Amino acid sequence: MMALVVDADAHVNEDVTAWKTLDELHPGWFSVGESGGRTVASIEDKLYPLQDGPGCGVPVDASTNPACRQGAADVKHRLRDMDSEGIDIQVLYGGLAIGVTSFADVGLAHDFARAYNDWLIDEMCATSPDRLKAVGIVPLQDIDRAVDELQRVAAKGVVGVTIPPLLPDKTLDDPSLTGFFTAAADSNLAVAIHSAPGMNLPLPAAERFSNYAQVHTLSFPVDQMVALTALAMGGVFEWVPHLRVAFLESGVGWVPYLVHRMGEHCEKLPHLLEAVTVEPREYIDRGQCFFSFEAEEPLLDLYVEHLGSDSLVYASDYPHWDCDFPGTVQEVRRRAKGLGDDVTAKILGENARRLYGV
């Protein structure tokens, strides 16, 4: 019998036409815009995703892997695709939803989060609640509202909430966010860090480039480095020792390097890091950090050699352009064969079960 397979990061295409309550609360909140000659969403006169200029997002006409197109639009076909891959559980994230913290109107951000979360939980995941698990969004522009929404969706069964790697005016170690992280941990929800170029969010390196290939190359790993540096060296994992955080969609080769580099600075500059009492890798060893890898990941052996196998989670990134469907699970098994059956079982499902509590 094959071990459980959990896809730790897959995506849905939002159906904003289904959010009737949001239309009633904020008439005209959504319109169609144009960016780079392509049709995109327009919210508060901002375009999602930006198709040209610094930090541009994915070209919308090539954003979906053709092999996933039917499943991206039809949840029953998605389930058949999961069956063909050998995926038992898929954890679902949005696309447009990741941009919620860029909205200027806090009331709109809060109501948008509620509308999206209810649609994801009550319509998408309700189709097969044992196999499809929701990750909610929260309006971090207002911490009290974010905590209220987090607790509301926790009661409805989400397995986590997603936030960007940094906010327009603060990094994730800002003391104002401690209450949010504490609430997530107290609710037994994972916090998932997910980048989003072209979504009007800060990009600490990729916003220097206007070529999407360059933007995408830098955005995900550099954004996650910023997030991990804030959480590990800024004291958040100390203040909230039961917090579980997933760092997604950036590969894992950067992690041993950054963990070593952070450790060196903690050793040699302790007077600047008084909130940190342990080596940063201790946060990984004690189960506070998880890192997703995709089927083509060439550095699994390196990661396991340096940081062990308890913090790796498999992700398909279905249905995006860089998803290797079909055959992702099979490819992971091939690449992990030399690591042994026990490690393969951990990275394909057991670790994700601990991360998300599924």
pLDDT tens across 263-300, in order? 999 999 999 999 999 999 999 999 999 999 999 999 99
Determine what percent of the chain is predicted with pLDDT higher than 70. 99
Angle between helices 254-268 and 300-307 (to 10 degrees): 30
DSSP per residue, 198-243: TSSS--TTGGG--SHHHHHHHHHHHHHHHHHHHHHHSSHHHHSTT-
Q: Report if residue 46 sits inside a domain.
A: no
Q: 218-247 burial string, b = 16+ CB within 10 Å, else e? A: bbbbbbbbbbbbbbbbbbbbeebeebbbbb
Q: Report if residue 31 sits inside a domain.
A: no
pLDDT value of residue 196:
87
CATH number at residue 126: 3.20.20.140
Q: Report if residue 40 sits inside a domain.
A: no
pLDDT value of residue 198:
96
Alpha-carbon distance of 65 to 323, in angstroms, equals: 7
Alpha helix segments (H runs only) across the chain: 20-25, 69-73, 75-85, 106-119, 143-156, 178-186, 212-233, 236-239, 254-268, 281-285, 300-307, 328-336, 341-345, 351-356
Q: Report if residue 272 sits inside a domain.
A: yes
Alpha-carbon distance of 40 to 301, in angstroms, equals: 40
pLDDT value of residue 186:
98
Decide if 106 contacts 141 (C-beta within 8 A): yes
Alpha-carbon distance of 55 to 92, in angstroms, equals: 25
β-pairing verdict for 31-35 and 132-137: unpaired
Whether the per-residue pLDDT at 262 is higher than 80: the answer is yes
Q: Report if residue 32 sits inside a domain.
A: no
- Give the pLDDT mean for 98-102: 96
- Give the pLDDT mean for 206-221: 96
Per-residue pLDDT band at 182 (split at 50, 70, 90): very high
Count of structural domains, the chain: 1
Q: Report if residue 273 sits inside a domain.
A: yes
Angle between helices 143-156 and 178-186 (to 10 degrees): 10
Per-residue pLDDT band at 1 (split at 50, 70, 90): low
Q: Please write the tens of the pLDDT for every residue from 222-239.
A: 999 999 999 999 999 999
3 state DSSP class of 31: strand
pLDDT value of residue 352:
98
Decide if 189 contacts 138 (C-beta within 8 A): no
Q: Report if residue 50 sits inside a domain.
A: no
Alpha-carbon distance of 98 to 89, in angstroms, equals: 21
Alpha-carbon distance of 179 to 157, in angstroms, equals: 21
Whether the per-residue pLDDT at 73 is higher than 90: the answer is no
Domain with 163 in it: 6-14+59-356
Cis status of the peptide bond prior to 319, with omega within 30 of 0: yes
Whether the per-residue pLDDT at 118 is higher than 70: the answer is yes
Q: Report if residue 71 sits inside a domain.
A: yes
Distances (CA, A) of 309 to 207, 249, 328, 335: 33, 18, 19, 14
Q: Please write the tens of the pLDDT for every residue from 310-343.
A: 999 999 999 999 999 999 999 999 999 999 999 9
Alpha-carbon distance of 40 to 42, in angstroms, equals: 7
pTM of the model: 0.96
Tell me what the pLDDT averaged over the chain comes to.
Answer: 96
